[in-house]
Amino acid sequence: MAKEPTPQEIASERLYLEMGLTDHEYDLVKQLLGRLPNYTETGLFSVMWSEHCSYKNSKLLLKRLPTQGKQVLMGPGEGAGIVDIGDGWGIAFKIESHNHPSAVEPFEGSATGVGGILRDVYSMGARPIALLDSLRFGDPKNKRVKYLVANAVAGIAAYGNAAGVPTVGGEVYFDDCYTHNPLVNALCVGLVHRDQIRRGIAKGEGSTVLYVGRSTGRDGIEGATFASAELSEGEQPTHAVAIGDPQMGKALMEACLEMMQLPSLIGIQDMGAAGLVSSSSEMANKGGHGIELNLDLVPQREPGMTAYEMMLSESQERMLLVVEKGSEREYEAICEKYGLACAAVGRVTADGMLRLLHHGEVAAEVPVDALTEKAPVYQRTAQVSHVYGLNQAMEVNDLPIADPAATLKQLLSMPSLASKEWIFSQFNADGSTLVGPGMDAAVVKIPGTNKAVALTTDCNSIYIELDPKQGSAIAVCEAARNLICTGAKPLAISDNLNFGSPFNPEVYWQLEQSVEGIALAAKKLDCPVVSGNVSLFNETDGQPIYPTPIIAMVGLIEDASKVMTGKYQHPGDLIVLVGRNWPELGGSHLQKLIWQTPSGRIPTLDLNYEVRAQELVYKAIHTGILHSAHDVAEGGLAVAVLESAFGTGLGVELDFSDGLTVSAALFGESQSRFIVSVDPEQLPVLLKYAQETDVDLKVLGKVTAEDRFRVVYNGQELINCPRSELESAWKEGFACLMR
């Protein structure tokens, strides 16, 4: 085993740069300690001050987000946010990224991403009830991309299925900008009684620090630092990717949920990014205490591990608990039952220090607030994107198309719009899943109640590339529309901000504008941001991904028996557009299909109109006059109308007029729109609601019993073909690329 460099060697040879600290940050460490840090201490600061752990390049911007609301039981700062759903129950949820590991080892990276987000949620005292994912990849025709897709999906499925938590929804988009930097974001949702909410906190001098779960190995060392740096094409730093054990993950979850019923439990936190150092220092800091760890007592699965390796390892399936002294045997008994390691590895102190003992010596001794609260915070330089002004000045009102039916079939076959059944068929469901993947939002029944929660993830990153502020506000509104379509009232947001390097002034401007857009829409919709994650440095050799702020949103359905479907129910029902079409094709999927590269001004967004349109559909659902409701989003009206028909065996006949071109009317992506179906006798009621809310309505046509999709627009027949032909194109568009 190589000898660790001395503090003097670290300073003189600037070895701290290789560990992720800058000259300025290393000088700050020296000031905080009043001396040179040793090798282990330098490692502690390098991971705790990484962007992944400290949010040093995004913290100032995140303060602009709304986090308060009467529905909020727990906001940002813990393992997950929690919102109130009444009757003493709360929903805990959080979305987290595992992008860099998944780019290198897609199966393990994605699997451990699921394992980590499960632990974040059940560390709050919540039983996980559902998983969702949000994925971005390059063109699946690319052999490497196909490999990434197949293995990332397999990893998600392997861990979620083994843990017994159904993956009920999500989204997947494909673009060349993600070829070398795929995005794997995982959302977990759990149920917790208000009296059982737990926190990651260490307090009570002399309390015992317990290590629970899998033994520590050398996998994942410096994973947080790896996730806070740009990738280079061909780089394969597999040492930074942890390896998960789904079966042990399931055992750990059940054991922790059982241990959290013990009154002697003081605090609990996942050993996630930065492993033992983050969990111990963060828990101690939140409790205003210190922690002393004896690393000789840490369960180890590899010989000769150093203090540095043990503290920075990101071995999976591990939790850190703080319990009352004298109660240790209760926890050991539960761990024995589940076949888990349980070791008393330290104690809570009153001195505010993180002290590490190893082989009878003090291996490190640093103030916990220096590792956590005193991490540097940066305001980076923001510069408006050089193409933003050009796009704003470019109105794309028309994209001439020779054959609307052929164009529609091409759109339905685009991997981003086509059916994702190839993916979600690999995920297990359970009896509580009322609505699974494939439509606007998933719906999960709350056990023991008549309530249900609706769940969605959403983000059109093309919009945000062209206009980050408005595009991000649109992402929030579309997520809310997804929930409204099920009959749910939107409650709160967990966001995952995936961007390139903040050192690039244009990227930092995108991040700043995106946060502003999320904040505007979240406030207007009364959906505070209660948890989330920031993933920066998603770029390869200086080429960033499209800015991709994933919006995960949860909503409440008071009566689970009245969940609204997105599918047509009855021949003869009228198909009605709620909202209005505008001549807006900038950033649309039609534009991408024809021009290959998106450009121009994206659809406008009137937040006041958005609120009224959502109120109209919500009221219409809850008064029982609608038979289906579906959001109009990517691909436009024609795609949305057909999506409600797919899988039903029913057909569609549209006959309507508008002042727009064919491309704008059928394939434009104007905002604040829904496609609903209604019995003709109920149309007057719907018209009355529209008048009361000042929202546009247009009867487009009707549901038929024929296998046909027919469109007459402004008196001209544009499309007349079998619905099954279009459905086949939609079903095969992505699946055929994965065979």
Catalytic residues: 52, 98
Q: Is the dihedral of CA 679, 683, 689, 690 positive or negative?
A: positive
Q: What is the pLDDT of residue 725?
A: 98
Q: Report which residue type is found at 49.
A: W
Residue 149 tokens read as: 């897709």
- Among 579, 568, 571, which Cα is nearest to 677's? 568
Neighbours of 299 (CB within 10 A): 17
- 164 Ramachandran zone, left/alpha/beta (phi>0; psi -120 to 50): left
- Among 474, 456, 452, which Cα is nearest to 464's? 474
318's CB contacts (< 8 A; 6+ apart) are 211, 212, 213, 214, 216, 252, 270, 271, 275
Query: CA-CA distances (angstroms) from residue 113 to 38, 232, 309?
Result: 32, 22, 21
Between strands 290-294 and 353-358, the pairing is parallel
Residue 219 tokens read as: 């996998």
Q: Is 358 exposed, middle or buried (0-12, 13-18, 19+ CB in 10 A)?
A: buried
Q: What is the pLDDT of residue 222?
A: 61
Residue 716 tokens read as: 């001209």
- In three-state secondary structure terms, 535 is strand
Over residues 367-426, the pLDDT tens digits come to 999 999 999 999 999 999 999 999 999 999 999 999 999 999 999 999 999 999 999 999
Q: Is 526 exposed, middle or buried (0-12, 13-18, 19+ CB in 10 A)?
A: middle
Q: What is the pLDDT of residue 694?
A: 98
Contact present, 389 and 509 (Cβ < 8 Å): no
Q: What is the pLDDT of residue 230?
A: 58
d(CA 267, CA 595): 55
Query: CA-CA distances (angstroms) from residue 410 to 169, 244, 414, 735?
Result: 25, 40, 6, 15
* H/E stretch holding 466: helix 461-466
Torsion of Cα atoms, 494 then 500 then 503 then 506, to 10°: -100
Q: Is the dihedral of CA 502, 505, 509, 512 positive or negative?
A: positive
Contact present, 556 and 686 (Cβ < 8 Å): no
Q: What is the pLDDT of residue 239?
A: 52
Hey, what domains does the chain have and what are their CATH numbers?
1-67+199-375 (3.90.650.10), 396-418+564-739 (3.90.650.10)
Contact present, 117 and 187 (Cβ < 8 Å): yes
The shares of helix, strand and coil residues in the chain, as percent rounded to the nearest 5, are 40, 25, 35
Intervals of the chain under pLDDT 70: 1-2, 222-240
d(CA 255, CA 338): 7
DSSP states along 242-255: ----HHHHHHHHHH
Between strands 697-704 and 651-656, the pairing is antiparallel
Q: The pTM is what?
A: 0.95
What contacts 24+ positions apart, CB below 8 Å, involve 377-380? 377/56, 377/59, 377/60, 378/56, 378/57, 378/60, 378/502, 379/60, 380/57, 380/502, 380/503, 380/505, 380/508
Over residues 9-53, the pLDDT tens digits come to 999 999 999 999 999 999 999 999 999 999 999 999 999 999 999
Report residue 296: phi and psi, to 5°. Answer: -65, -20
